[in-house]
């Protein structure tokens, strides 16, 4: 997958979750920040890993930093 392909097909919410993953946030921290359940956050993370064809959260976070999909400060409310 090329950098240009990353993020294709991610929902707005998944892009927000991905931005938080780039800061190594846990599912619970993501849930708290976005006012969703931990289970929902976990589901978003699983979908992101599948769509980006990465093996783990760290790789997903690295992909977000390498090819920003959404301004991180907007996603985390700064």
What is the C-alpha to C-alpha distance for residues 50 and 74, in angstroms, rounded to an integer?
Answer: 24
Distance of CA 1 to the CA centre of its chain: 17
Span 12-68 CATH architecture: Orthogonal Bundle (1.10)
pTM: 0.77
Q: How far apart, in whole angstroms, are the C-alpha atoms of residue 32 and residue 41? A: 9
What average pLDDT values come out for the chain (78 residues) when binned by 10 residues?
Answer: 56 94 96 98 97 94 75 47
């Amino acid at each position: 997958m090329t950098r240009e392909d990353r993020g294709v097909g991610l929902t707005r919410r998944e892009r927000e979750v991905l931005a938080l993953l780039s800061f190594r946030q846990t599912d619970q921290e993501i849930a708290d920040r976005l006012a969703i359940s931990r289970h929902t956050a976990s589901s978003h993370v699983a979908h992101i890993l599948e769509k980006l064809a990465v093996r783990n959260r760290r790789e997903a976070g690295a992909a977000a930093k390498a090819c920003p999909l959404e301004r991180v400060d907007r996603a985390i409310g700064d």
